[in-house]
Amino acid sequence: MASVKLTNVKKVYDKNVVAVHDFNLEIKDKEFVVFVGPSGCGKSTTLRMIAGLEEISEGTVEIDGEVVNDLQPKDRGIAMVFQNYALYPHMSVYDNIAFSLRLKKVPEDVIYDKVTKAAETLGITEYLMRKPRALSGGQRQRVAIGRAMVRDSKVFLMDEPLSNLDAKLRNQMRAEIILLRQKLDTTFIYVTHDQTEAMTLADRIVIMKDGFIMQVGSPDEVFDMPDNLFVAEFIGAPKMNIVKTGLVCENGKYYVTPFGAKIAVDGDKGEMLAERGVKGGEVLLGVRPEHIDLAKAGEDAIPCTLVVDEMMGSELHLHVDTEDGTRMIVRVPTIDISKEERKALVAGAKLYITFGGKAMHLFDPETEKNLLA
């Protein structure tokens, strides 16, 4: 159990390729932090620098108040779970889990207790004598977690631990990691490219792009108030619809004018725009698919044509084209649609969509920053 602090951490490969720029973050004791971003954003590199598997080019990493830049991985008090499990193929599951304890010359009876306890927690007791190749993907990942558990480390590092599993197993293991976290009660740093994992697991999410931190915040914060366009599009599935549109101010009230419609910006957000002295002009308007509703023709409705309808079970994903050909996605709960309405929702159907002022996100078209953040 420990805090982790990264100060101006930078990673430079071959003198000119910068993988991580000036990374600053303080992770509190027992916090679950997720680094998320597309591939090549530097999230794994950052994790590996904390682990000591990658040299830190500049800046400092502190674990529990101690600068660990020059410490070997084994002396940093960390445990790590790898994407490809990294189990030792020539050792049984028991020996895999016991490996670190044997290196520390822990007595065999203590090792036995710890390994069996970890195996019970993870439900792999019956496989202890098997070799890793005789296990399924999910079982292997459990062994990898068991190997990290018995180390009683201060920080638990996980590098895309679920990426090699199929979708169903991934959901199951995700829930198990939440349970594990409750049991272990230690600091977790978790790397993933999957925003769902980030949202469901994290206390705080660190969203990265091209080696820069784009935003740090709780799942609620990054979802409701993304700092910039990148975060807005990255978090949430299907991703947020982004439309270039006008923002006008009439009698102290703000309106957006997408595709000829005129939709009022809701009270709170309008007030914030006024406070900031926003004059109006061109903006990037972001609306999440689930915040768009089917509507009747009117001033605040946008006419469009249905292109694809995806039946997801509890909801319907409608891909629609507006009159100027902009593609938008609309998420409609199936329970809100009558049978007749559903029948009419076929490719080529003409519909109207609208959204409330509360659901809007407004970004500066140049800086791509959130105008309201």
Partner 1 sequence: MSNNKHHMGMKTLNRLSNSAIYTLLVIISVVWLIPFVFIVLQSFRVESTYQVGYVVPHQWGFQNYINLWNSDFKRWYLNTFIIALAAAVLQTIIVLCMSYTLSRFRFKLRGPLMRFMLILGMFPGMLTMIILYRVLSDLGLTQANAVPGLILVSVASSGMGYYVSKGFFDTIPKSLDEAARVDGATRLQVLYKIILPLAKPIVIYTILTAFMGPWGDYVFARYVAFGTSAGYNVAVGMYSWLTNDQINNMYTTFCAGGVIVALPVTILFLCLQKYYVEGVTGGAVKG
Query: Which residues contact partner 1 by CB under 8 A?
Result: 51-53, 72-74, 78-80, 82-84, 86-90, 99-100, 103-104, 147, 151
CA distance 158 to 143: 13
Bond preceding residue 73 cis, omega within 30 of 0? no
Cβ at position 83, least distance to partner 1 in Å: 8
Provide the minimum distance between the beta carbon of 54 and partner 1 in the complex, in angstroms, as a whole number: 10
CB of 148: closest distance to partner 1 in angstroms? 8
When the beta carbons of 77 and 211 are compared against partner 1, the nearer one is 77
User: Given the complex with partner 1, which of 72 and 182 has the nearer CB atom?
Assistant: 72
Residue length of the chain: 373
Nearer to partner 1, 148 or 263 (CB): 148
Cα dist. 63→29, 70, 260, 355 in Å?
Answer: 10, 12, 55, 46
As a whole number of Å, the CA-based R_g of the chain is 25
Cis peptide bond N-terminal to 258, omega within 30:
no
- 187 or 322: CB nearest partner 1: 187
Would you say 142 or 209 has its CB closer to partner 1?
A: 142
CB of 76 to partner 1, least distance (A): 9
Pairing relationship of beta strands 204-209 and 32-36 according to DSSP bridges: parallel
- Rounded Cα–Cα distance for residues 312 and 237 (Å): 13
- Closest approach of partner 1 to the CB of residue 75, in Å: 9
Query: For the CA atoms of 1, 221, 211, 67, what is the dihedral angle to 10 degrees?
Result: -20
Handedness of CA 117, 118, 119, 123 (dihedral sign): positive
Q: Toward partner 1, which CB reaches closer, 84 or 367? A: 84
> CB 55 → partner 1: shortest distance, Å?
10
297 burial level (CB within 10 Å; 0-12, 13-18, 19+): exposed
Please say which residue, 80 or 362, places its beta carbon nearer to partner 1.
Answer: 80
Chain centroid to CA 56: how far?
Answer: 24
- Sole residue written with tokens 């979708």: 167
Q: How far is the CB of 156 from partner 1 (least distance, A)?
A: 11
DSSP state of 193: S
